[in-house]
Structure 1
Amino acid sequence: MISRARDSYPELEFIHADARSLTDDIDGSFDAIFSNATLHWIPEQDMDQVLSSVTDLLRPGGQFVVEFGGRGNVETIVSAIETELAERGYEGTNPWYFPSVGEYTNRLEDHDFEVRYAVLFDRPTELEGEDGLRNWLEMFGDSLLAGVPDEELDSVFSAIESRTEDTLREGQTWYADYRRLRIHAIRE
């Protein structure tokens, strides 16, 4: 993605960096920082490091605009995975942090932000193809399904599909039960 961005916009500088230590890789202050679909991949225990980095990089009055998975995001899918794994005697690791509005806005306020807008909303998202859920599981479920032997994965996928199809499937189309947290905050 960085390579394509650099090719498309050679006049801009693109940096690949760890959000927990942005100030190690980036000098200066910014008017705005934007993040989409990234922060839910950062463990909860590391979120204060991220927000400290963002605070350090934004000038006073700078904007922090984010959207990421919020409380209840992919809950039907995760619940089906966890139930199926437990019945088979396996454990998985949930890699995501999906905070509530109150939880995340409190964190922001603790890092010198004034929250101007915060909303948690449902955003059911169509998954491509007849095997949409299976494709999604293959792409994003690796941590949750890491303990399942390869020869059992197909059976586990089928069982997860069975557990979720009444809720997440309409006709031949699968949907992920996404819930997004969208926030606009100003550094004080």
Structure 2
Amino acid sequence: MSWLADDRTRLAAERILDAAGELFTDSAAHRGGIGAVAMGDVARAAGCSRATVYRYFADRHELHLAYVHREARRVGGLVAADAARVEDPQQRLGTAILSALARVREAPALSAWFARADAAATAEMALASPVVEALVRGVDTDPLAARWLVRVIVSLLIVPGRDAAEERALVERFVVPSLSGAASPS
């Protein structure tokens, strides 16, 4: 993207995305969800004009994508580090999935994306995101399995298990075996 061309531009875009993240956190608790955050709100929170926000992001959808992609890369790095500590491939896969769930949930601005008001839009964005799919492909190189894994993770974020133990059991009993035994596409 051209808005990442130089340091000054990158820093301005990061400041806008940081401000948007704060508003996403607040919107989940106080207003109508992520969709209720207007570009003018982001501009005020970032300490700039709406024109400046629009200079970096053509519209709200582009701002949302940039935020989700940035956070997906950040979370992906943390998940990769968590999974790298596990030697057994099946346990590593389970660790990666459970780490992704935990890392998203521990970030209020990210967990806000999975609130009831925003779940459908978030799921659509995650399923269409080449960044999210590329990060999941690091866990499983089969493109179809990677897309299915994104669906599983999004599903568990939108409709969590009763507790961490149930989610671990679901992942270890159903998800890991299905991906570990998945045949390569013909």
TM above 0.5, yes or no, is no
Largest Rg, 1 or 2: 1
Bigger helix fraction:
2
The alignment's TM-score, normalised by the length of structure 2, stands at 0.30
The alignment's TM-score, normalised by the length of structure 1, stands at 0.30
